Amino acid sequence: MIDGRTQLVGLIGWPVEHSLSPAMHNAAFAALDLNWRYLPLPVRPRATAEVQAAVHGLLALGFRGANVTVPHKQAVMKHLDEISNTARAIGAVNTIVVQEGRLCGYNTDGDGFVAALREAHFEPAGRQALVVGAGGAARAVVHGLLSSKAEKVTVLNRTLERAQVLVSEMGGHSGRLRALLLTPETLVEAASSPEIGLLVNTTTVGMWPQVDGSIWPESKTLPASLTVFDLVYNPLETHLLQEASISGARAVDGLGMLVMQGALAFVKWTGVQAPLDVMRAACERELRR
Ligand code: ATR
């Protein structure tokens, strides 16, 4: 029951109607009998004044915090009192926590990715990885991999310049990060190196409704030694992950990262360990609807 003591968090973004986060967090609150609610908080794109009003509105309305999603992950930053080193390095905030009247910004995407990777029994320390894409999601993944001591990360992108910018901004790690133009040939060649253990798709290729898309060329077999992580979770089994399974590679879907980044935000707001199984089941239920 919502009453005068209900604690509020929410999701600032646009659009937010199809987000899985409200169902995921509200299921977690209910399972733990916490008097908290998670609300969609739509804030229009390109509305600079509204982003500022929304962030300050969290304080004014007594919210305990919020998640932030596209397109406001960068825009909220200048309205916060504090920003964690991780969020600064990634260049985006996905979680705001109100701490003693101050707005503190965090980014749980990179750590959420690594937690999901470890849950799938892949330890990135000392391993080499290919990251396809160079947008916001790629920045979080690269940060997660480098901070968990991956030996080398290659960022492949259709627009080489964007990968180069990412590398120059995030590559203060003594040559552990490099950029490569994404073509079917460069991807297959890079993935064929026996040193590569992990392939991550951070692009939208394969996402509903273009479910037949894949970054991996149809005519080639994926190396069976790879772990293939697709950040896409709609559909859960993308074309890329089907190809991975067929070739004997380990396939990891994007829901694990969504749940883990949510769980890390959940614990920051509530101080309580998040019920991962409940959260994943709530997401799967929403996806089936
Ligand atoms: P996000 O913040 O979710 O990462 P983004 O910043 O829009 O989203 O980045 C999308 C990424 O997917 C980019 O790396 C984009 O490549 P470009 O930088 O060349 O645009 C990549 N991407 C999108 N559609 C693609 C496609 N059809 N083929 C290859 N890469 C694609």
With beta carbons less than 8 A apart as the criterion, state whether 117 and 252 touch: yes
Tell me if 201 CB under 6 Å of ligand 1: no
The residue whose CA is least distant from atom 31 of ligand 1 is 203
Q: What is the tens place of the pLDDT at every residue in 57-90?
A: 999 999 999 999 999 999 999 999 999 999 999 9
Q: Quickly state the pLDDT bin for 259 (edges 50, 70, 90).
A: very high
Tell me if 37 CB under 6 Å of ligand 1: no
Q: Could you give the percent of the chain with pLDDT greater than 90?
A: 98
CATH architecture of 110-253: 3-Layer(aba) Sandwich (3.40)
Query: What does the alpha-carbon distance between residue 263 and residue 28 come to, in Å, rounded to a whole number?
Result: 9
CA of 133 to the centre of ligand 1 (A): 5
Tell me if 74 CB under 6 Å of ligand 1: no
Tell me if 136 CB under 6 Å of ligand 1: yes
Q: Going by C-beta distance under 8 Å and a sequence separation of 6 or more, which residues neighbour residue 188?
A: 216, 217, 220
The residue whose CA is least distant from atom 14 of ligand 1 is 133
Domain boundaries, the chain: 7-107+256-288, 110-253
Tell me if 235 CB under 6 Å of ligand 1: no
pLDDT score of 171: 81
**202 CA: nearest ligand 1 atom:** 4
The residue whose CA is least distant from atom 9 of ligand 1 is 135
- Kindly provide the b/e burial profile for residues 145-167, where b requires at least 16 CB atoms within 10 angstroms of the residue's own CB: bbbbebebbbbbbeeeebbbebb
Token pair for 232: 């896409």
Residue 172 has pLDDT above 90, yes or no: no
Query: What does the alpha-carbon distance between residue 142 and residue 148 come to, in Å, rounded to a whole number?
Result: 10
Query: What does the alpha-carbon distance between residue 167 and residue 146 come to, in Å, rounded to a whole number?
Result: 12
As a whole number, the mean pLDDT across the chain is 97
DSSP 220-271: SPPPTT-EEEE---SSSS-HHHHHHHHHT-EEE-THHHHHHHHHHHHHHHHS
- Cite the active site residues: 73
Mutate to test the pocket of ligand 1, among 181, 203, 211 (most ligand atoms within 8 A of CB): 203
Q: Quickly state the pLDDT bin for 51 (edges 50, 70, 90).
A: very high
Residue 104 has pLDDT above 80, yes or no: yes
Query: What does the alpha-carbon distance between residue 193 and residue 61 come to, in Å, rounded to a whole number?
Result: 54
Tell me if 204 CB under 6 Å of ligand 1: yes
Edge-to-edge order in the sheet of strand 102-106 = 36-42, 7-13, 65-68, 95-99, 102-106, 82-83
Q: What is the tens place of the pLDDT at every residue in 188-219?
A: 999 999 999 999 999 999 999 999 999 999 99
The residue whose CA is least distant from atom 27 of ligand 1 is 205
Element (H, E) at 160: helix 160-170
3-state secondary structure of 168: helix
The residue whose CA is least distant from atom 29 of ligand 1 is 158
CA of 127 to the centre of ligand 1 (A): 25
- Kindly provide the b/e burial profile for residues 89-112, where b requires at least 16 CB atoms within 10 angstroms of the residue's own CB: bbbbbbbbbbeeeebbbbbbbbbb
Tell me if 137 CB under 6 Å of ligand 1: yes
For the chain, how are helix, strand and coil distributed in percent, rounded to 5? 40, 20, 40
- Of the candidates 79, 44, 83, 85, the one whose C-alpha atom is nearest the C-alpha of residue 58 is 79
Token pair for 270: 């509530």
Q: Is 216 exposed, middle or buried, given 0-12, 13-18 or 19+ CB atoms closer than 10 A?
A: buried
With beta carbons less than 8 A apart as the criterion, state whether 274 and 115 touch: no
Strand 95-99 and strand 65-68: pairing? antiparallel
Query: What does the alpha-carbon distance between residue 32 and residue 12 come to, in Å, rounded to a whole number?
Result: 24
CATH number (3.40.50.10860, 3.40.640.10, 3.30.1360.40, 3.40.50.720) of 7-107+256-288 reads 3.40.50.10860
7-107+256-288 and 110-253 agree in CATH topology: yes
